[in-house]
Amino acid sequence: VRLVAAIACLAGCTGDMARPEGASAIGQPTATRRVRRLSAREYANTMRDLTGTSVDVGVFTEDTVVTGYDNGTESLGVGIEQAAAYTRLAEDAAAKVVADAPHFLGCDLGREGAEACRERALGTFLRRAYRRPARDDEKARLRGAFADARNITGDDTLALRTMVEAILQSPAFLYRTELGGAYDGNRVVLDDWERASALAYFLTGTMPDDALLDAAARGDLATVDGMRREARRLLATPAARIQVRHFLEQWLALDRLAFVTKDAKAFPELDDTLRAAMREDAERFLDEALRERGGSLAQVFGSTAAFVDEKLARVYGVPYAGTGAQRVELDPSLRRGILTRAAYLAVHSGPEETGPVGRGLFLRSAILCAPTPPPPIGIDRNVPKAPTRTTRERFASHSSNAMCQGCHRAIDGVGFSFEAFDALGRHRTVENGVAIDSSGFLLDAGPSDGPFNGVVELESRLLGSPRVASCFVRQAFRFAMGSSEAPEDVTTLDVLSKGFDANSSIVDLFVEIAASRAFVERWTR
Amino acid sequence: MKRRAFLAGMSSLALATFARRLVADPAPPPPKRLVLVMHSNGTQQSNFWPRAEMTSPILDPLLSDARVRARTTIVKGVYVPWDSGGTDGNEHDMGFARMFTGYRLRNVSGHPWGGGPSVDQIVAKEWRERTLNLACLTSRTEPHPKPGFLHRRSFSYVAAGVLRVPIEDPFVAYQRLFAPPEERDGVTRQRLLLRKSALDPMKSELARLRDAVSREERDKLDRHLESVREIERDLLRSISGEALGCGTRPPPPPEYTTRAPRLLVDDESAIPAIVQSMVDLIAAALTCGAPRIATLQLGYGGAKWSYDWEGIGYDCHGYLAHLDSTDGASSPDVIAKLVRVHRWNASMIARLAKKLADTPEGDRSVLDRTLIVWASDMGRGDHSLENVPVVLVGGAGMPSGGKLVDVGRQPFQRVGCTALRAMGLDVGGFGDLPDCGPLQGL
């Protein structure tokens, strides 16, 4: 089926097939018609915006991250525990909504009566909850739940609450659809409401705001220009700033900081306060990097700003005065860019030592999109501790062993350049009495390949590499689609990558992704 | 389950009539039970396989009890073929995610996941029952799985790439199994009825949605629908006031989640207590037949416990199991410590078996109607995949035990097939194996 569809698309791509209005110029569809369960974070944001409740997403234990991003649709299902959690959370939220019916439902239960409030809830509130106007049969079933509850209790408030609980557990609330309407045998294009949801969850991580729903109702989203216009509007909101930052944090795995533990003897400094300071530093660093023209890789890999409290100042080796987090500029010859920030360095190192292999593997996979195959079977991967040698010297056997050389030349070439930073992110010049060697060698970065020294130089080389720019585009695309790219996505990715470089605006990239055909078209299967 | 929902819907008069009719019917045969247990890092080969007189330094906790020994078969010769399935998984994953699913690893963004439902879930589906899945995952060395290693939280799979996430807190499991409805839910009967009303509309909406999507997506929605039905069955049971369990509750374990959460995250000091609680819960649940299928997992796949309680005190994976590179000629210190580690694991299985042997059912014991399948992800700690330790305990669908059986060299899928056959499932294939025959030579 996929092959037939691909052939059909070839015809489509040459312009032989009429495209419906709204299909944009870039690329072609790759994802199939699907439903996407709200991720834990999207659910929490949506519950906050719709019902004013705050949700602890720790209850969503089954969610797994497979694309590198928490919105990966493949792994988001609903098992028993999850369904039970939805029930409990819906009950809490419904109680709150009905208790403040004038605010949430636009209705005064005492004055207007239960039926009036029920019908009001089935209007605006339901459109916001389902992110589209509800069908008549859906409303009829909700009225049924209301009637059931009133029969059981004889209580109007409880009846209304039960109906709101039903809304908050409905698949129309928990999933967003990408089903669309057919325009040829093989493809569908998302309808206006689905486009509104796709835009909102991609760019703001939450439900569409009323303006976006109104735009969908007017048919504004049916055109590429309309999609661009709404994308730009959303990207200027505070929710979008958090969302873009959230994407960058996941891209660089900074969100794992909460789980980082270190050997207590080697790193007694690391406690929850320092972890929080590292997190705040990284967040504000990224916020600042994103502020100007929607941010750029040049900012992300080049800024010298840091936001330190007393403990973090000691990690960075800078003077500190005052209270709370202070903005400081770090020595640009030692630290510039996110890769030299404590959060990044602490996440990307072992519990006891720096872990050059892990640092190299991650960077190559996330930033160069050049993942490394696993080591061959039967290899002794223990690198015994040695009190008089540097970590680099201990791992040096990689480059002398012919079997390891192939991959480790590339992995360690990057990983060793981080050796001037310990597992907590402190700068160091000696280890076990031996001077640190942070020379490195970059591979698979095109014109930037070759020897270099230290992370600061590594970052400027990354900025000069088209591979890094196109890898970033690919990462943003995965985040937008909630799935890994397919081979057919090469067209879309090529077009998006064209002209995207270290100085290009990240926010503009998000707009162009939202305007692509891949974003709004789906295969039927 | 179906019957329970039916009963709940009947008036008390009808119920009494129905109950009388039930009594008049000949008693059905006592049900079978299944427990799957997995620990990581293989075993210490020269001290595992019993000698002629059926003694073994590692297995003696099981073999020293005559009743348990008579129901125990130790299977030698099972291997796991090396196959990363193009993922970044190593030998741990090859055994861990495959032993009870039978499939090649599924490549999910480069990471190794199980390729289909595991034996416990297959049997549960057949019996229309829920499973009790428990895992003690706390770890000082690895409090959270490394990135890309989330699959190591469970060897139980609902479907390809979809974990059945185990319960880590014995108290939570206790509440779910044994607390009376009002205590369990902390809500009134009226609230239960309202809860059911709120669920009603979504079933038809889920069903409508599933007809609009592709096959893979349909599986996702089916699972959601099945979950909702499950919850509904629970609700009906609670509404009708039907008690869970069979009257005899084990003592409640401590409330770790709220009172001492670190003991479930990175503090290993309570591991023996947690695992014992889990074993006791499984024994009590099996006895009551609620549920009759359980899994127990000792640590993440590739567990890195320090076994402080056995006097070791450091990561027994990287700094002990990995150093065991021959079947008996590793350093005496390594061998001695590994024996302590695996003997302790065996003592937990022995605790379960003895409890079941102590519980009469008719003229026999619950152990006689149970099969415990205990296996590891590999054969030896240095990632050798040959001679994986496999122990079958119990009388359900099994020939008499008390023996070591060398089955030659047989693929791991035969272990799953043996379990499925013992539970009375006549399955054509299992995982990648088109012919699901049991281990030959048992």
Burial (0-12, 13-18, 19+ Cβ within 10 Å), A417 = buried
Does the pLDDT at position B7 exceed 50? no
B202 touching A, CB under 8 A? yes
Position A374 scores a pLDDT of 66
Q: Which of B111, B163, B205 sits opposite A62 (nearest CB)?
A: B163
Spatial distance between the Cα atoms of B423 and B371, rounded to a whole number of angstroms: 8
Q: Are B96 and B118 in contact (CB under 8 A)?
A: no
d(CA B71, CA A265): 48
User: What mean pLDDT comes out for the span A60-84?
Assistant: 77
Is the pLDDT at B229 greater than 90? The verdict is no
Say yes or no to pLDDT of A262 above 90: no
pLDDT above 80 for A163: yes
What is the rounded CA–CA span in Å between residue A161 and residue A152? 13
**Which of B263, B270, B352 is CA-nearest to residue B309?**
B270
Q: How far is B107 from chain A (nearest CA, A)?
A: 10
Tens digit of each residue's pLDDT (9 = 90 or more) over A28-63: 666 888 999 999 999 999 999 999 999 877 667 666
User: Which of A32, A83, A141 is the closest to B228 by Cβ?
Assistant: A83
Contact B217 A78 (CB under 8 A): no
Strands B403-411 and B72-79: parallel
Residue carrying the six token digits 């089916």: B222
Smallest Cα–Cα separation from B242: which of B305, B290, B191, B285? B290
Contact A377 B111 (CB under 8 A): no
**pLDDT (mean) for A508-512:** 97
Residues 6+ apart with CB under 8 A from A508: A294
Q: Does A153 touch chain B (CB under 8 A)?
A: yes
pLDDT tens, residue by residue, A192-202: 999 999 999 99
| pLDDT score for B68 | 96
Determine whether A132 is exposed, middle or buried from the number of CB atoms within 10 Å of its CB (0-12, 13-18, 19+).
Answer: buried
Nearest partner of B143 among A398, A125, A256, judged by Cα? A256
- In this structure, which amino acid lies at residue B280? D
pLDDT band at B2 (very low <50, low <70, confident <90, very high): very low
Complex ipTM over 0.95: no
Cβ-Cβ contacts under 8 Å, A144 against chain B? 200-201
Encoded tokens for A33? 């018609």
Under the banding of pLDDT at 50, 70 and 90, the label for residue A171 is very high
H or E stretch including B133? strand B132-136
Kindly determine whether residue A90 and residue B198, on different chains, have CB atoms separated by under 8 Å: yes
Which residues, other chains included, contact A60 with Cβ-Cβ below 8 Å and sequence gap of 6+? A40, A43, A82, A85
The Cα-based distances of B31 to A342, B127, B397 in angstroms read 58, 10, 11
Give the Cα separation of B207 and B222 in Å (integer).
8
Instruction: Work out the average pLDDT over A148-158.
Output: 94
pLDDT at A29: 65
Span B91-113, pLDDT tens digits: 999 999 999 999 999 887 678 99
- A-contacting residues in B 109-148 (Cβ below 8 Å): 109-111, 130, 141, 143-144, 147
Alpha-carbon Rg of chain A, whole angstroms? 26
- Return left, alpha or beta for A355; rule: phi > 0 is left, psi -120 to 50 is alpha, else beta: left
Give the dihedral sign, CA A516/A180/A246/A78: negative
**Residue B343: closest CA among B46, B45, B48:** B48
pLDDT tens digits for range A372-430: 876 665 566 667 777 888 889 888 877 777 778 888 899 999 999 999 999 999 999 99
Three-state SS for B217?
helix
Q: What is the pLDDT of residue B176?
A: 78
Q: How confident is the model at residue B275 (pLDDT cuts 50, 70, 90)?
A: very high
Q: How confident is the model at residue B292 (pLDDT cuts 50, 70, 90)?
A: very high
Take residue A124 and report the two structure tokens written for it.
């605006």
β-bridge mates for residue B38, sequence order: B297, B375
Q: How far is B161 from chain A (nearest CA, A)?
A: 8
Asked if the C-beta of B383 comes within 8 angstroms of chain A's C-beta atoms, the answer is yes
Q: What integer pLDDT is reported at residue A24 of this predicted model? A: 41
Identity of the amino acid at B406: D
Residue A80: list chain B partners with CB under 8 A: 130, 227, 230-231
**Per-residue pLDDT, B163:** 85
CB contact under 8 A, B318 and A382: yes
How much is the pLDDT for B12?
Answer: 36
Average pLDDT, chain B: 86
Q: Is the pLDDT assigned to residue A498 strictly greater than 70?
A: yes
DSSP string over A373-391: PPPPTT--------TTS-H
Question: Measured between beta carbons, which residues in chain B are less than 8 angstroms from residue A377?
Answer: 82, 91, 383
Query: What is the predicted pLDDT for the residue at A525?
Result: 67
| pLDDT over 80 (residue B257) | no
Angle between the N-to-C axes of helices B413-422 and B119-127, in degrees from 0 to 180, rounded to the nearest 10:
20
The shortest CB-CB distance from B223 to any of A32, A79, A166 is to: A79
Q: How many CB atoms lie within 10 A of CB A83?
A: 23
Closest of B192, B203, B194 to residue B234, by C-alpha: B192
What is residue A379's predicted lDDT score, i.e. its pLDDT?
A: 60
Helix crossing, A192-203 with A506-514: angle to 10°? 160
Predicted confidence (pLDDT) per residue in B53-74, tens digit: 999 999 999 999 999 999 999 9
Within 8 A by CB and 6+ apart from B91, the residues are A377, B80, B82, B377, B378, B383, B384, B385
DSSP states of B282-329 as a string? HHHHHHHTSSSEEEEEESSTT-----GGGT--S-TTTTTGGG--SSS-
Distance CA A62, CA A59 (A): 9
Min CA distance, A332 vs chain B (Å)? 31
| Contact with chain B for residue A525, Cβ under 8 A | yes
Tell me how far CA of residue A293 lies from CA of A119, A273, A278, in angstroms: 45, 33, 25
Q: What is the pLDDT, as a whole number, of residue B85?
A: 82
Grade residue B49 by pLDDT with cuts at 50, 70 and 90. Answer: very high
Tens-place pLDDT, residues A128-150: 999 999 999 999 999 999 999 99
Asked if B186 reaches chain A (Cβ–Cβ under 8 Å), the answer is no
Given a cut of 50, whether residue B19 has pLDDT beyond it is no
Predicted confidence band of residue A80 (pLDDT cuts 50, 70, 90): confident
A vs B: CB pairs below 8 A: 147
Sign of CA dihedral B89, B92, B94, B100: negative
Q: For A513, list phi and psi in degrees, rounded to 5.
A: -60, -45
Contact B394, B368 (CB under 8 A): yes
**Which residue, B383, B6, B417, is CA-closest to B232?**
B6
What are the helix (H) ranges across A443-489? 454-463, 466-481
Determine whether the interchain pair B199/A87 forms a contact, defined as Cβ–Cβ distance below 8 Å.
Answer: yes
Indicate whether B4 pLDDT > 80.
Answer: no
- Among B323, B219, B93, B201, smallest CA distance to A380 is for B323
Task: Report the b/e string of A507-523 with b at 16+ CB within 10 A.
Answer: bbbbbbbbbbbbbbbbb
Least reliable range by pLDDT among A29-33, B231-235, B360-364, B419-423: A29-33
Residue type, A224: V
Say what the pLDDT of residue B52 is: 87
- Of residues A287 and A75, the one with the higher pLDDT is A287
Q: What's the alpha-carbon Rg for chain B, to the nearest Å?
A: 22
| Mean pLDDT (whole number) for A259-278 | 88
Please confirm whether the linkage preceding A133 is cis (ω < 30° from 0): no
Distance CA B291, CA A49 (A): 40
Q: In the predicted model, what is the mean pLDDT of chain A?
A: 88
Nearest Cα neighbor of A160 from A103, A127, A113 is A113
Beta strands in B161-251 (DSSP E): 162-163
pLDDT for the residue numbered A16: 26
How many residues comprise chain A?
525
Cα-based angle B45, B50, B51 (whole degrees, multiple of 5): 115
Catalogue the E-assigned strands of A253-372: 305-308, 326-329
Hey, which residues 372-431 in chain A have their CB within 8 Å of chain B? 373-374, 377-378, 380, 382
Q: B376-407, pLDDT tens digit by residue?
A: 999 999 999 999 999 999 999 888 899 999 99
Name the nearest CA neighbour of A244 among A191, A182, A300, A192.
A300
Highest mean pLDDT among A252-256, A486-490, B337-341 belongs to B337-341
What pLDDT is attached to residue B13? Answer: 36
What is the reported pLDDT for B22?
38
Residue A433 DSSP label: T
Per-residue pLDDT band at B20 (split at 50, 70, 90)? very low
Answer for the pair B283, B355: CB distance below 8 angstroms, yes or no. Answer: yes
A-proximal residues of B, 214-253, CB under 8 Å? 214-215, 217, 220-221, 223-224, 227-228, 230-231
Residue B72 and residue B22: Cα distance in Å, rounded?
36
Cα–Cα distances in angstroms (integers) from residue A32 to residues A137, A222, A278, A475, B337, in the given order? 27, 20, 40, 19, 53
Q: pLDDT value at position A11?
A: 28
β-bridge partners, B331 = none
Q: How, if at all, do strands A326-329 and B111-113 pair?
A: unpaired
